[in-house]
């Protein structure tokens, strides 16, 4: 049996992030369906709440149990060359890592003391363009791995608007587990929705150029969409107190705003919220628009798999993404409104097309079977 260790980033300390949890669980479930023995490995930094708050750690432990990983997660802290596995996990954690066939690493800043435990390592880039930018600007140091996968179509190609940073990137696709996200047709579902963080402290700084890299920027650019359609539009946002004024402003434009912590704060709520939606309308962060990697969100895959048509901002020409049935990519307010109207004219057909896209392009079993073949060749 192939043993794969999946290394996510900042899940334990973000218990209210139901969608963030699913990013990595899609891979875990897909690998298990392929017959792999899978472990979850996560680093906890000394300042993280989970190390000081037993309740936070318990929330994570309970979630692992619900997904069949009660004895399959390993938490550790790192102090220089010293690793401490006492935070959580089996007593033979080091032996498990040393005996694993592959580390599938999503923690870009993983350090040598943990990487050296593995005989084969593969980094998975789920932030195409951004990751290469961070490396090129020395904002992030990525330690050597055996292989480097990316979900960005243009990464490492002549079409890229950013350097390859001297790494040979292998293309793959983001994944969704179709069994965990079944087709869920609701002909009377009302709102097009999305789940997102509103504002962040993330800024793109390149020499004298700097801009805020948050969806707040792009959602404001499309704030007038409700005036162009009769379709109900709703956002489940991760907001903090200072965002109250902007929430009121968006609601004044015709948007329904809900708190993601209330409607999508755990994995089950997140799934239920998406599956009760009519479809998804979503924008992209400014960096993805600038880098033009044809990036598609893991969240949008959950909508597609559930049979929910998706209307998302165009992040660059794609060689494989279909447009016009189940999935629409827009550049303007008018295009977004027209896409929603087209979907509503044949809603059942576009729901079936959405599910077909997920099955054909993003099925975790198919994508990960190919990834494992390359990683373990």
Whether residue 44 contacts residue 50, with contact meaning beta carbons closer than 8 Å, is answered with yes
The tens digit of pLDDT for each residue in 305-352 reads 999 999 999 999 999 999 999 999 999 999 999 999 999 999 999 999
| In-domain check, residue 37 | yes
CATH of the domain at 48: 3.40.50
> Does 149 share its domain with 80?
yes
Please name the residue ranges forming H helices in the chain. 18-33, 49-52, 54-66, 93-99, 112-115, 130-136, 215-221, 244-252, 260-263, 267-275, 286-291, 298-305, 333-345, 347-361, 364-375
Whether residue 119 sits in one domain with residue 242: no
Tokens of 49: 């709440």
Asked, for residue 335, whether it belongs to a domain, the answer is yes
In total, how many domains does the chain have? 2
In a domain, 185, yes or no: no
Q: Is 196 in the same domain as 340?
A: yes
Extended beta strands in 93-219, E state: 102-105, 121-125, 147-150, 170-171, 192-197, 203-206, 209-212
Instruction: For residues 301 and 223, state if they share a domain.
Output: yes
pLDDT at 50: 67
Question: Among candidates 222, 246, 217, which has minimal Cα distance to 233?
Answer: 222
The pLDDT confidence band at residue 54, using thresholds 50, 70 and 90, is confident
Q: For residue 184, tell me if it sits in a domain.
A: no
Instruction: Identify whether residues 253 and 344 lie together within a single domain.
Output: yes
Host domain of residue 155: 3-175+363-375
Which range, of 63-67, 86-90, 250-254, 352-356, averages the lowest pLDDT? 86-90
Q: Looking at the structure, tell me whether residues 226 and 268 fall in a common domain.
A: yes
Strand order in the sheet with 192-197: 256-259, 233-238, 192-197, 279-282, 310-313, 327-330
Same domain for 166 and 203: no
Selected residue with higher pLDDT from 28 and 51: 28
- Judge if 241 and 293 occupy the same domain: yes
Our measurement of the distance from residue 129's CA atom to the centroid of its chain's CA atoms, rounded to an integer in Å, reads: 15
Mean pLDDT of 101-120: 97
pLDDT band at residue 80 under the 50/70/90 scheme: confident
What are the tens digits of pLDDT across the range 137-181? 999 999 999 999 999 999 999 999 999 999 999 999 999 999 999
Residue pLDDT, tens place only, 259-282: 999 999 999 999 999 999 999 999
Report if residue 182 sits inside a domain.
no
Q: Strand, coil or helix: what is 165?
A: coil
Higher pLDDT, 209 or 221: 221
Selected residue with higher pLDDT from 239 and 5: 5
Residues 218 and 287 in one domain: yes
The domain spanning residue 231 has which CATH number?
A: 3.40.50.2000
Flag whether 183 is in a domain: no
Say whether both 224 and 157 belong to one domain: no
Percent of the chain with pLDDT over 70: 98
Tokens of 132: 């290469």
Q: Is the residue at 186 inside a domain? A: no
């Amino acid at each position: 049996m192939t043993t794969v260790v999946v290394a996510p980033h900042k899940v334990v300390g973000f218990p209210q992030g139901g969608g963030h949890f699913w990013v990595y669980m899609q891979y875990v479930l897909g690998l298990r369906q392929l017959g792999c023995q899978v472990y979850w490995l996560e680093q906890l930094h000394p300042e993280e709440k989970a190390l000081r708050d037993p309740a936070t750690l318990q929330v994570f432990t309970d979630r692992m149990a619900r997904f069949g990983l009660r004895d399959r997660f390993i938490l550790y802290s790192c102090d220089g060359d010293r690793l401490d596995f006492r935070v959580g996990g089996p007593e033979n954690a080091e032996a498990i890592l040393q005996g694993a066939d592959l580390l599938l690493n999503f923690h870009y800043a993983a350090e040598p003391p943990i990487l050296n435990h593995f005989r084969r390592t593969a980094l998975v880039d789920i932030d195409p363009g951004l990751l290469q930018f961070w490396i090129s600007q020395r904002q992030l140091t990525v330690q050597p791995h055996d292989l480097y996968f990316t979900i960005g179509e243009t990464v490492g190609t002549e079409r890229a608007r950013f350097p390859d940073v001297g790494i040979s990137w292998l293309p793959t696709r983001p994944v969704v587990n179709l069994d965990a996200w079944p087709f869920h047709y609701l002909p009377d579902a009302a709102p097009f929705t999305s789940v997102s963080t509103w504002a962040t402290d993330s800024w793109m700084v390149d020499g004298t150029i700097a801009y805020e890299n948050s969806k707040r920027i792009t959602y404001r650019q499309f704030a007038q969409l409700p005036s162009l359609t009769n379709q109900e539009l709703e956002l489940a946002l991760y907001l903090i107190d200072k965002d109250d004024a902007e929430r009121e402003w968006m609601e004044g434009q015709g948007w329904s705003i809900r708190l993601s912590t209330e409607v999508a704060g755990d994995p089950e709520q997140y799934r239920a919220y998406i599956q009760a939606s009519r479809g998804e309308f979503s924008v992209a962060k400014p960096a993805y628009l600038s880098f033009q990697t044809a990036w598609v969100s893991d969240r949008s895959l959950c909508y597609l798999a559930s049979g929910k048509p998706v209307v998302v901002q165009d992040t660059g020409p794609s060689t494989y993404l279909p447009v016009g049935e189940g999935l629409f990519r827009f550049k303007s307010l008018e295009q977004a409104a027209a896409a929603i109207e087209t979907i509503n004219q044949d809603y059942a057909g576009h729901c079936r097309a959405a599910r077909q896209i997920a099955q054909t392009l993003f099925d975790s079993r198919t994508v990960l079977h190919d990834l494992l073949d390359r990683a373990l060749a």
